[in-house]
Amino acid sequence: MRKACREILGPLSDYLEGTAGEKVCKMIEQHLKGCKHCRMHVDNMKMIITLYKSWRNERIPRSLSLKLRQTISSEIRRKRK
């Protein structure tokens, strides 16, 4: 990951939530114009946020919730290795 890509990761949540300052927004938007990888990452994050907001009141079966938690935990452990 390039240094410029790492620099936008910190303020990215504020940017996506609409709470980042104008200077930060301009910096991120400028970076996204030239970085396809980060643009795809931001697009995916926007999609996840949209899905979460539309589904957050839905109840999911306990078995699915447990499977999801196991999968996330396994992925985190795998990436730490």
Q: Is the overall model pTM greater than 0.85, yes or no?
A: no
pLDDT score of 27: 94
pLDDT score of 29: 95
> How do the domains of the chain map onto residue ranges?
3-80
pLDDT score of 78: 84
Residue 75 tokens read as 């992925």
Q: What amino acid is encoded at 22 in this protein?
A: E
Distance (Å) of CA 48 to CA 26, 43, 44, 56: 23, 9, 6, 11
Q: Is residue 35 predicted with pLDDT exceeding 90?
A: yes
Could you tell me which residue, 39 or 60, shows the higher pLDDT? Answer: 39
Distance (Å) of CA 15 to CA 18, 35, 36, 44, 53: 5, 16, 18, 14, 17
The pLDDT of 25-39, averaged and rounded, is 95
